[in-house]
């Protein structure tokens, strides 16, 4: 890394907060600028530079880029599926305008490389939902999915027209213990671990057989950084990446192996419709071929890691 720095926008979010810590461990605390619309955890704020930044203002982004000599941006700020349904215009503004501003700044010569996260939400009910291919029908039925599909096309446009080095993955549901997710349909798969420890039971807002692609946070962070370091073929693709897939019943069974008395019941709500429009599992062979992607965490290994770390937090607090 030369004397430029990396800017993470949306550093307080579920993925952004752990991405900052990992990037800082690789490049050094002073090289990674964390930014968000609000202050983050002590860990995030105390071991490196933090900037309050509203990514829906281009001038504000440019100010931070110039102040810290930024050459790479990870644009992690987004409004995810459930919240985006409640506030469609705000979701579009945050999810798309922030991306357009960052791509414009790259085109104007301020940035050398951009990471932008897409999602399995770009797929819809007309998509083949078993081993969903990299290139297939994408007719999303959610505000979030529409914004992510449009974002993919904007990235492809700026790559083709201006040669912008923008890279992207389609994240599945991400499971982590450090920073809670906010407003997503896959959040049940995080909540269930917390409730298993606090209440010994969980009321799931999806039906027991709702299969969704999922990934432990460590795999998601490793995929993101590996993609940014890779020598990629020409053209743009937001890569399907996959680690595991499971149903609420299967994750509950996995928890019961560690907490035998754990119980679950199912009360599907409006989020069931969103989940039903997404794939059950993904074909990520293109990512394996283009940049040697491979995950480390299956469901059992993830459950062990989640429960171990959440127990440690509860003991400390």
Among 33, 120, 143, 228, binds ligand VAH (CB under 6 A): 120
Alpha-carbon separation of residue 128 from 162, 218, 276, 284 (angstroms): 33, 28, 12, 14
Stretch that binds ligand VAH, among 118-126, 229-237, 288-296, 302-310 (CB under 6 A): 118-126
Q: Find the shortest distance in angstroms from Cβ 282 to ligand VAH.
A: 11
83 and 182 Cβ atoms separated by less than 8 Å: yes
Judged by CB, which is closer to ligand VAH: 48, or 172?
172
Window contacting ligand VAH (CB under 6 A); options: 49-57, 116-124, 259-267, 296-304? 116-124
Alpha carbon distance 40, 45 (integer Å): 6
> Which whole-number Å values give the CA distances from 260 to 241, 265, 312, in the listed order?
32, 15, 19
Calpha distance 79→19 (Å, rounded): 18
Check binding of 184 to ligand VAH (CB under 6 A). Answer: yes
- Residue corresponding to tokens 């989940």: 275
Measured from the Cβ of residue 271, the count of other Cβ atoms closer than 10 Å reads: 19
Q: With contacts defined by CB under 6 A, name the span among 3-11, 114-122, 149-157, 215-223 that binds ligand VAH.
A: 114-122
190 binds ligand VAH (CB under 6 A): no
Residue 119 touches ligand VAH, criterion: CB under 6 A: yes
**Minimum distance of ligand VAH from residue 251's CB (angstroms):** 15
Token couple for 181: 């997710």
Using the contact rule CB under 6 A, the part of the chain among 64-72, 113-121, 200-208, 279-287 near ligand VAH is 113-121
173 touching ligand VAH, by CB under 6 A: yes
Among 81, 98, 127, 238, binds ligand VAH (CB under 6 A): 81
228-233-234 Cα angle (round to 5) = 105
Residue 75 backbone phi and psi in degrees, to 5: -95, 90
32, 53, 80, 255: which one binds ligand VAH (CB under 6 A):
80
Angle (CA) 155 160 161, round 5° = 100
With binding defined as CB under 6 A, does residue 303 bind ligand VAH?
A: no
Give 173 or 248: the residue with its C-beta nearer to ligand VAH: 173
One residue of 71, 179, 185, 254 binding ligand VAH per CB under 6 A:
185
First to last CA, the chain: 38
Select the residue interacting with ligand VAH from 35, 127, 176, 186 (CB under 6 A).
186
Stretch that binds ligand VAH, among 22-30, 98-106, 180-188, 257-265 (CB under 6 A): 180-188
**Residue 240 binding ligand VAH, by CB under 6 A:** no
Catalytic: which of 144, 171, 216, 239? 144
Helices marked H in 74-173: 81-86, 88-92, 98-107, 143-162
The DSSP secondary structure of 38-49, one letter per residue, reads S---HHHHHTS-
Q: Is 121 in the site for ligand VAH (CB under 6 A)?
A: yes
Distances (CA, A) of 61 to 11, 69, 161, 209, 217: 14, 12, 23, 43, 27
The DSSP code for 97 is I
> Is 144 tagged catalytic?
yes
**Residue number, nearest CB to ligand VAH:** 184
Residues between 132 and 171 that touch ligand VAH (CB under 6 A): 144
- Site for ligand VAH, rule CB under 6 A: 80-81, 119-121, 144, 172-173, 181, 184-186
Which residues are annotated as catalytic?
Answer: 144
């Amino acid at each position: 890394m030369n004397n430029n720095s990396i800017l993470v926008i949306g550093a307080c979010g579920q993925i952004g907060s752990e991405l900052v810590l990992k990037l800082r461990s690789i490049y050094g605390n002073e090289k990674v600028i964390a930014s968000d619309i609000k202050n983050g955890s002590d860990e995030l704020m105390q071991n490196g530079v933090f900037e309050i930044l509203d990514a829906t203002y281009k001038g504000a982004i440019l100010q931070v880029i110039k102040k810290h000599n930024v050459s790479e941006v990870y644009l992690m700020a987004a409004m995810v599926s459930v919240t985006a349904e409640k506030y469609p215009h705000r979701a579009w503004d945050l999810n798309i305008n922030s991306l357009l501003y960052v791509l414009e700044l790259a085109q104007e010569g301020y940035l050398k490389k951009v990471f932008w996260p897409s999602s399995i939400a770009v797929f819809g009910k007309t998509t083949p939902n078993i081993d969903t291919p990299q290139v297939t029908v994408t007719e999303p039925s959610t505000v979030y999915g529409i914004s992510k599909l449009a974002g993919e096309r904007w990235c492809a446009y700026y790559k083709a027209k201006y040669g912008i080095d923008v890279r992207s993955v389609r994240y599945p549901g991400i499971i982590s213990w450090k920073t809670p997710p906010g407003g997503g349909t896959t959040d049940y798969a995080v909540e269930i671990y917390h409730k298993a420890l606090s209440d010994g039971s969980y009321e799931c807002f999806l039906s027991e057989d709702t299969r969704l692609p999922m990934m432990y946070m460590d795999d998601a962070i490793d995929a993101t950084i590996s993609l940014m370091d890779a020598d990629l073929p020409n053209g743009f693709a937001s890569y399907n990446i996959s680690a595991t897939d499971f149903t609420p019943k299967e994750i509950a069974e996995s928890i019961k192996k560690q907490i035998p008395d754990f119980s679950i019941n199912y009360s599907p709500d409006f989020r069931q419709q969103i989940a039903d429009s997404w794939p059950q599992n993904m074909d990520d062979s293109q990512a394996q071929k283009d940049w040697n992607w491979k995950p480390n965490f299956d469901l059992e290994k993830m459950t062990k890691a989640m429960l171990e770390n959440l127990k440690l937090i509860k003991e400390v607090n």
